[in-house]
């Protein structure tokens, strides 16, 4: 299974800068898979360079807030020495949840690019539109979904299918 997945993504040629950064987020998600974590990866980009990388570590850390996005924001703030990440963009493989969308607003990230839509808990546009109802925060986060959507969605699907197979044994 893992060999099929790596074949799938190593052969991928990004056709623009957004796909290039999303591919880096996918690589992070693959690190999460190796740790039996749900495959969600994230990078934060500043001045067209990757500032920080992270992946979901909820099980590893035994901590509900250790989503890829929150961990990336934490790392980026430490690195920059400021809670404001105004000139930074985030690339994340899955549409952020309510908690992460809130953290994104608080850290004033400029734009979020996500891969797969999350119909059950996505807080950007699928189940909620936190960025748009957050006008009172006087920071408007822009977003664009569906970057390498097929690959990002396939990772999630594979992960949950493998869990179902494992649970059946």
Does 69 qualify as catalytic in the annotation?
yes
Number of residues binding to Zn ion, judged by CB under 5 A? 3
Write down the least CB distance from residue 96 to Zn ion, Å.
5
Residue number with CB closer to Zn ion (8 or 77): 77
Helices (H), the chain: 2-10, 17-34, 58-61, 68-80, 98-106, 130-133, 149-168
Binding mask 61-100 for Zn ion (x = CB under 5 A): ------x-----------------------------x--x
Residue number with CB closer to Zn ion (33 or 103): 103
Beta strands 111-116; 142-144: pairing state: parallel
Q: How far is it, in rounded angstroms, from Cα 135 to Cα 59?
A: 34
**DSSP state string for 81-126:** TSS--TTEEEEEEE---HHHHHHHHHTT-SEEEEEE--TTT-TTTT
Single out the catalytic residue among 30, 69, 95, 118: 69
Write down the least CB distance from residue 25 to Zn ion, Å.
14
For the annotated catalytic residues, the residue numbers are: 69
User: Where on the chain is the footprint of Zn ion (CB under 5 A)?
Assistant: 67, 97, 100
């Amino acid at each position: 299974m893992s060999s099929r997945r790596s074949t799938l993504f190593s052969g991928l040629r990004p056709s623009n800068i957004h796909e290039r950064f999303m591919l880096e987020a996918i690589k992070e998600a693959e690190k999460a898979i190796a740790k039996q974590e749900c495959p969600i990866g994230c990078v934060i980009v500043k001045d067209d360079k990757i500032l920080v990388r992270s992946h979901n570590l909820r099980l590893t850390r035994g901590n509900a807030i250790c989503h890829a996005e929150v961990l990336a924001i934490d790392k980026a703030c430490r690195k920059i020495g400021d809670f404001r990440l105004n000139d930074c963009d985030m690339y994340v493989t899955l549409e952020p949840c309510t908690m992460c969308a809130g953290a994104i607003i608080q850290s004033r990230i400029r734009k979020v690019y996500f891969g797969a839509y999350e119909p059950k808990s996505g807080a950007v546009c699928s189940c909620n539109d936190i960025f748009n109802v957050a006008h009172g925060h006087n920071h408007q986060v822009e977003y664009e979904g569906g970057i390498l959507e097929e690959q990002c969605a396939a990772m999630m699907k594979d992960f949950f299918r493998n869990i179902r197979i494992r649970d059946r044994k």
